[in-house]
Amino acid sequence: MASSRAAVRPIAARSVVAQVTDELRRAIVSGALTPGEEYSLRELAGMLEVSFIPVREALRSLESEGLVHNRPGRSARIVPLDLDDLHGIYRLRRTLEPAIARRSCALLADEALDALEAEAAGFADERQSMDDIYEDHHGFHLALLAPAVSAWDTRVLTSLWHAAERYIRIGFGRLDPDPAEHHRRGQAHLDLVAAFRSRDPDTAAAAVEQHLARNERLALSALSAYSENP
């Protein structure tokens, strides 16, 4: 009996830490925990209705992801939004993604493109916020490039997409109340599928470059408004 209890307890403890980490990450990337604000461990533990221990462990993980700065044993400061950081992320994405698109457009099966087209159309649903569709949006872009990515490409792209996640969710989330934004979002992704369906490398690469440049401009505009009126 004792050995059974010993085997279960570490799993339960890790599960609590994982849940706390996931919830704090969600609150940070959505902007619910304000960029630049400092929160005490007591305050965060009270919000989550847990003890200090899983909060402290979760904050260590989130610091390694670049989302918080910890003051040992006392508090954590949410990393402020940095527009230069966003520029850097998109500069790297524009270097990698169009080059992969050149190869992928010739490799994607028609059935895969049909599925991606249906998914893109769903992004225009006014009932779906950026938070609602973000994971599907991430999956859409990965599927569009998947036939031509290596394991290292996937690692690097995923890292960049995670780095951009907070900016995307906060920046584009502010545009969600506008129905026209939902239509634009859906059409922009339909245009990407159409470019890949052309099977022309130059067309696919140019479409990805334009998509990224447009998204960066919109994110910067929204984030500028956020910094002025948080």
Distances (CA, A) of 133 to 32, 89, 141, 193, 197: 17, 21, 12, 17, 23
pLDDT at position 230? 58
Residues 31 and 56 in one domain: yes
Q: Indicate the average pLDDT of the chain.
A: 86
Nearest to 59 by CA among 42, 136, 198, 118: 42
Q: What is the pLDDT of residues 168-185, one digit of tens each?
A: 877 777 777 888 888 988
Confidence class of residue 8 from pLDDT cuts 50, 70 and 90? very low
pTM for this entry: 0.75
Q: Which residue has the higher pLDDT, 135 or 60?
A: 60
Q: What is the pLDDT of residues 34-44, one digit of tens each?
A: 888 999 999 99
pLDDT at position 229? 61
Distances (CA, A) of 5 to 8, 9, 14, 187, 201: 5, 6, 15, 55, 59
CA distance 160 to 154: 10
Q: Containing domain of residue 56, as a range?
A: 2-78
pLDDT at position 7? 47
Residues 89 and 195 in one domain: yes
Q: What is the mean pLDDT of residues 214-220?
A: 83
Residues 59 and 110 in one domain: no
Last residue of a domain, one of 38, 61, 78: 78
Both tokens of 130, joined, read 């950026």
pLDDT at position 56? 92
pLDDT at 13 over 70: no
Residues 93 and 69 in one domain: no
Q: Which residue has the higher pLDDT, 107 or 10?
A: 107
* Domain containing residue 156: CATH number: 1.20.120
Nearest to 101 by CA among 188, 203, 212: 203
Last residue of a domain, one of 26, 59, 78: 78
Last residue of a domain, one of 78, 97, 121: 78
Residues 50 and 92 in one domain: no
pLDDT at 141 over 90: yes
Q: What is the pLDDT of residues 183-212, one digit of tens each?
A: 988 999 999 999 999 999 999 999 999 999
Residues 99 and 46 in one domain: no
